[in-house]
Amino acid sequence: MQINLSNLGKRYNYEWIFRNLTYTLESGTSYAILGHNGSGKSTLLTIIAGHNLHSEGDITYKLDGKTIAPDKAYRELSLTAPYLELVEEFTLLEMIAFHTRFKPLRGDLSHQNLVERMGLQKSRNKYIKDFSSGMKQRLKLGLAIYSDTQLLVLDEPTTNLDQEGIDWYQNHVEQNKADRLIVVGSNIVHEYSFCEHHLHITDYHVQARQVR
């Protein structure tokens, strides 16, 4: 997959979050969107993922050299972020079954295999509402990382994880990054240390403020 951002800008009312952002993201490469809290990292990620609309410029998606419509791009991506919620009335196995109705798992991985890879075997029949915050985050990451998608978008991926969970995240991303386009929004090094390219969202703040 290839994503082209051309003179992209986003504003809320009269305040520009960023502006004049031109960048190309390609499969087989991992990118980190960097910046302080409130700088616009999550805004850019939601635009890339199609969850948010940009205010100016263009964003195009290509798969195997062919342009795909923005409203179809969701089929090729998986996203996890602190603001995304799980269906807490489901058990773990029910949540996986529901998720895989829309996004199949990579490599014909079974539901039980995914439970094991997430290290949640003892909680397979436990309701999500009774999970700890760290368990919920590991579940969100597991569903995203192991979905059979070309694009993996990770916003603050180790939120609520302890050191064991952080190690788990790093290991499983490393195992599943080949031939994928991965975009990470973060200001914490251990979340994006594997990324080859860094885009500093603050580089587009000055331009945003200068032009009203």
What is the β-pairing status of strands 77-80 and 29-34? Answer: unpaired
Each residue's pLDDT tens digit, 26-83: 999 999 999 999 999 999 999 999 989 999 999 999 998 899 988 888 899 999 999 8
Check residue 206 and give its pLDDT: 65
The Cα–Cα gap between 100 and 182 comes to: 20
Which tokens sit at 188? Answer: 């914490």
Q: Give the per-residue SS3 of the chain.
A: CEEEEEEEEEEECCEEEEEEEEEEEECCEEEEEECCCCCCHHHHHHHHCCCCCCCEEEEEEEECCEEECHHHHHHHEEEECCCCCCCCCCEHHHHHHHHHCCCCEHHHCCHHHHHHHHCCHHHCCCEHHHCCHHHHHHHHHHHHHCECCCEEEEECCCCCCCHHHHHHHHHHHHHCCCCCEEEEEECCHHHHCCCCEEEEHHHHHHHHHHCC
CB 5 within 8 A of CB 24: yes
Check residue 74 and give its pLDDT: 87
CB 41 within 8 A of CB 35: yes
Which tokens sit at 137? Answer: 């985050």
Domains and CATH numbers, the chain: 2-210 (3.40.50.300)
The Cα–Cα gap between 195 and 207 comes to: 26
Residues 6+ apart with CB under 8 A from 29: 181, 182, 196, 197
pLDDT by residue for the chain (212 residues), tens only, comes to 999 999 999 999 989 999 999 999 999 999 999 999 999 999 999 999 998 999 999 999 999 889 998 888 889 999 999 989 999 999 999 999 999 999 999 998 999 999 999 999 999 999 999 999 999 999 999 999 999 999 999 999 999 999 999 999 999 999 999 999 999 999 999 999 999 999 999 999 965 555 44
Check residue 208 and give its pLDDT: 53
